[in-house]
Amino acid sequence: MAKKSRKSRKTFFSLKKILRSRRNIFSLAAAALIALGLVSPDLRDRAADVLEPLVPGISSLFKPLSSRVQGPIEEGIWTVIHVVDGDTLDVGDADNRYRIRLIGADTPETKKPNTPVEPFGPEASAFTERKIAEAKHKVRLAFDGDQVDRYGRNLAMVYLQMPNGQEVWLNELLIREGLARAQTQYRFSRGAKNAFRQAEADAKSARRNLWSE
**Would you please indicate which residues are annotated as catalytic (active-site) residues?**
101, 109, 153
Tell me the CB-side half-sphere exposure of residue 64, using CA atoms within 13 A: 3
Instruction: Tell me the C-alpha distance between 126 and 124, whole Å.
Output: 5
What lies within 8 Å, CB to CB, of 95 at 6+ separation is: 41, 67
Residues facing 79 on adjacent strands: 138
Which residue, 81, 35, 89, is CA-closest to 58?
35
Instruction: Tell me the C-alpha distance between 154 and 131, whole Å.
Output: 20
Which residue, 189, 155, 160, 190, is CA-closest to 174?
160
Coil vs helix vs strand at 15: helix
Instruction: Tell me the C-alpha distance between 141 and 144, whole Å.
Output: 10
Rounded to the nearest 5 degrees, what angle is found at the Cα of 186, between the Cα atoms of 184 and 190? 60
Coil vs helix vs strand at 96: coil
